[in-house]
Amino acid sequence: MAEERFYELIFICQPDTPEPEIDKVIATLQQSIEEQQGRLEKLEKWGARKLAYRIGKNREGFYVFLAFRSRQSDLIKELERRLKVSEPVLKYLTVRIDEELKRQSKLAARRERRLARRPRKPAGESATAAG
């Protein structure tokens, strides 16, 4: 089985969509995530925000943000298909960020290690490595 991947998904709805309508879209996404054994980690409604550029005729959009883990890459296809066919959705973006998070923690760990040995003189460090 493929390793678990971490995704973030943002989609934008028409600003004049009634809230239950948006909840319905979210519910269908949640359902497909569950069906494919994904784990939803975060669900945030950012609400209506100004768009940086017009999408269609809209200057505003209702943002919804999801973060989830999954082993099935087909899940992304499924989610994006659902977003594409749902009426109020203007735009969506899925980003896989596990590798960036991995890199982040790696760098953080390295910095910590370096900080831990900082009290010593930076030079001549290799001589003490044998212990």
Which residues make up the interface to other proteins (CB under 8 A)?
Answer: 10, 12, 51-55, 61, 65, 91-93, 95, 100-101, 103-105, 107-108, 111
Nearest to 42, CA basis, from 11, 69, 66, 7: 66
In the complex, least distance from residue 40 CB atom to other proteins, rounded to whole angstroms: 17
For the CB of residue 131, give the shortest distance to other proteins in the complex, in Å: 29
What's the min distance (Å) between Cβ of 37 and other proteins? 26
Residue 35 vs 111, nearer CB to other proteins:
111
Q: Please identify, using beta-carbon distances, which residue of 34 and 100 lies nearer to other proteins.
A: 100
Are 74 and 9 a contacting pair, CB within 8 Å?
no
Buried b (16+ CB within 10 A) or exposed e, 70-80: bebeebbebbe
> Does residue 16 sit in helix, strand or coil?
coil
CB of 130 to other proteins, least distance (A): 28
Which one, 1 or 52, has the nearer CB to other proteins?
52
Q: Which residues pair with 47 in a beta bridge?
A: 63
Is the CB of 40 or the CB of 55 nearer to other proteins?
55
Give CA–CA dist 87/25, Å, rounded.
9
